Structure 1
Amino acid sequence: MGWWAAAGVVAVPALAFLGFFRDPERQPPDLPGAVLAPADGEVMEVALVDDAWVGPAARVSIFLSPLDVHINRAPVAGLVAGVEYVAGKFRAAYKSEASEVNERCTVALEGDAARVAVRQIAGVLARRIVCRVRAGDKLEAGERYGMIRFGSRTDLFVPRA
């Protein structure tokens, strides 16, 4: 194997790794009362549910492929009212049941305009949830608070209109 081939064997995975862990700057819009997306990805489902923190809610499920940015950001400015980690299964994150059976971490936020919750959900490959906030912390809208590594899902719970 030549020098260039050996360099390619090292460079391709290294570039893929750097691409996965990228963290671009974001400037949240200045829209009072707006709820921002907590993650990049594809909206897979919107369902009406009853959430322990929000109450009657709409659950917006966002699937993050390995090509998406995996940083989670606060959807609203507010106080972290609670953080709950639940060990669970590692089923496909795009399936509806993943929100309730997979390993997950839910952050409850007392926003300026409303209560919301964000749930980080591990998937088949994504078995590492990072949540850097605790109850009592204050977050600004769009502020980074965690990440999920290697394909996953983020659910946003907002009050029903």
Structure 2
Amino acid sequence: MTTSTLHSSDLWAVSRADVGSPEAEALLREYYTDVANRYYRLHLGREGTPEEIETGLAGSPSDDLAGPSGLFLLGRYAGEPQSCAGLRILDDRTAELTRVFVRHAVRGTGGGARLLAAVDEAARSLGAERIVLDTRLDLVEARALYTRHGYREIPAYSSGPYAQIWYGKDVTAPAPPAR
């Protein structure tokens, strides 16, 4: 008789999704609200107002995370949408990672690792040899996730009010399975 142990990471499945679907839009709204409120708390000592969140969402569209210029991934934990990530093509060799989010209730269950493994595979399927991203310094959990999964600090390739640190990763060789 064979026994197996079910790990919480085994409950994750990641697949491509329509960035305009209701599930994707709900996750993107939660992602934006989460990172915006962290920014507002750090710099202004308060949460963002509903108007500020709506204005920010409107000014940060995700429609380029669809073919042919990109793609959107949705992670499901026990069948429920709980994470997301987007890739956009920057040039013949490079894809940019953006909109990485795992809902707070399922953080620590292996969802980030599964999501980033799927990102690597998706980038290769788009013909990318490298993934780059920019993020804020205060998003320490995200930065730790990236470095645990092979991203290294690189020189700035973009500018903007929230681009404070840049990472890159070679994806020419398949990554080992996420656990």
- TM-score w.r.t. the length of structure 2 is 0.28
Larger CA Rg, structure 1 vs 2: 1
More helix by share: 2
Q: Which has the higher contact order (CA 8 A, sep 6+)?
A: 1
